[in-house]
Amino acid sequence: MPRRPPRPAAAPPRAFQIVKDLAVPLYQQIHELIRHRISTGDYPYGAQIPSEHELCRELRVSRVTLRESLRKLVQERLLVKVPGKGTFVSSEPVKGLSRVKYAGFLEDLQERVLSLNVVEVHAARITPTDELRTRLQLGPGDTELVVFKRLRHIEDEPFSYTLNYLRPAIGDRISVERLYAVPLLQILREDLRIPIVRAHETIAASPADPRTLFAVTQPAALFRSRDGGRSWIEIASLRSVPGAERWCVPLASILPGRARAIALDASDEARWWIGVEVGGILATEDAGETWSAIYPGCPPEVPVNPDIHQIVLHPAHRDLLFASTGYGRMDQSEPRDQRSAGVFASEDGGKSWRYAWTGIEPRYTRPMCIDRRAPHALTVGASPTTYSSHRDPGGASAMLYRSDDDGWTWRSLGDPAHSPSPTNFFGIIPDPETVGGVLVGTDLGEVWRVSPAGVWTRLAAGLPDVQAVHPLR
């Protein structure tokens, strides 16, 4: 049966400006706008939509933000990407895409936002952090805050997770039950008669379901829990990737390869990266239905590297990926002095890489973290070898480096006692108290707080090797 020819392209839709102060993320506004244009026939079935450059110019958004929206529309089979030609509306109507009533895009979107359904509300008393004290202009006598946590759905799908911090004099007057039915601002204005003079909101994308957990193991495998960790199911497709039988840790006695790292796209719950030591990065865009094997490298100048230690995703750029690597190889055919090691960066989700460690020593990199707060400092621990230790003559000779420009330039965070460090670094996380600072665990059983200026303050000593550090808030 011959396919129906595409309808002629309609006249270009009128220019539209995304509303950046609307309480809806930009990528979702664009997603809804394009759905709206498809359902109304502005973008006919089978027709090519404007190029990314044209849409970015019309909507005044970055290409990264636009691509988030287009990726979701492709997954929903509303759009089809044709390599070398562009992006097209699917040739046949998609089930469930109903034609909307005659209304502007903003009216249609805001109507959906008004259908928000609060499904969970929790209240608790907390001790305010320094950041909260500054933002809320708290005084010395303000020792507690009331925090309300709300999970909201649109059309039975998670939409937002909101945290509201209030002084107890106000928070204690608000009931949890009331927040299921009435917005907080309405309660403040109408129930408590508190005028809203000024407001500051912070919106960030994060994985939708807080009960979904992932775990990676040795031998390399991936497990997922959807009930907060009470039960686990293996994503068995990971171990079926061609070449998985070669994954290993090539010591004197060869060990099974170990999955050491996981990175999840906060705006696309089906997009994951798994780092295997030694086996490369396994990437999926369909929640594990299919996988792509990725080996960071820039051949021939910088050979590919399958020895993956950590993977982190930039919190503001969903395609910007960093990987810390070592000298391990699945076979020993490559001479060690010719092997690459250090930090690699990818700006397209892993399809291509740049070597971000040129001229930096030592090159064996393992612990790595990125601060979710601007300027999104990337911090990496480096040592001469896998086995570098405080027990070595002269110590571990480890270094701690920081980049504020996505790995293009680096500076040492070492003070005179840690340049290089006699102890090796195992666990590194952003310091919740200081933007750009980190907490560091060492192989001598120490925990250090390191400021952005490289000031070291020891918080603990005399512990066993500190493999990981994590704040309890």
For residues 427 and 448, give the distance between their C-alpha atoms in angstroms, rounded to a whole number.
Answer: 10
For residues 148 and 120, give the distance between their C-alpha atoms in angstroms, rounded to a whole number.
Answer: 10
Residue 152 Cα distances to 179, 192, 251, angstroms: 11, 23, 49
- pLDDT tier, 145 (very low <50, low <70, confident <90, very high otherwise): very high
Task: Check whether 248 has a pLDDT greater than 70.
Answer: yes
Q: What structural domains does the chain harbor?
A: 26-113 (1.10.10.10), 115-191 (no CATH), 213-460 (2.130.10.10)
Structure token pair of residue 472 = 């309890």
pLDDT score of 7 = 37
Q: Is 68 in a helix, a strand, or coil?
A: helix
Give whichever of 111-115, 226-230, 327-331 has the largest mean pLDDT: 327-331
pLDDT score of 9 = 42
Task: Check whether 249 has a pLDDT greater than 50.
Answer: yes
Task: Check whether 5 has a pLDDT greater than 50.
Answer: no
pLDDT tens-digit profile of 381-405? Answer: 999 998 999 999 999 999 999 999 9
Q: At residue 346, what are phi and psi to the nearest 5 degrees?
A: -130, 135
Q: At residue 134, what are phi and psi to the nearest 5 degrees?
A: -70, -50
Task: Check whether 101 has a pLDDT greater than 90.
Answer: no
pTM of the predicted model as reported, rounded to 2 decimal places: 0.60
Task: Check whether 182 has a pLDDT greater than 50.
Answer: yes
Identify the CA nearest to 381 among candidates 436, 441, 459, 463.
441
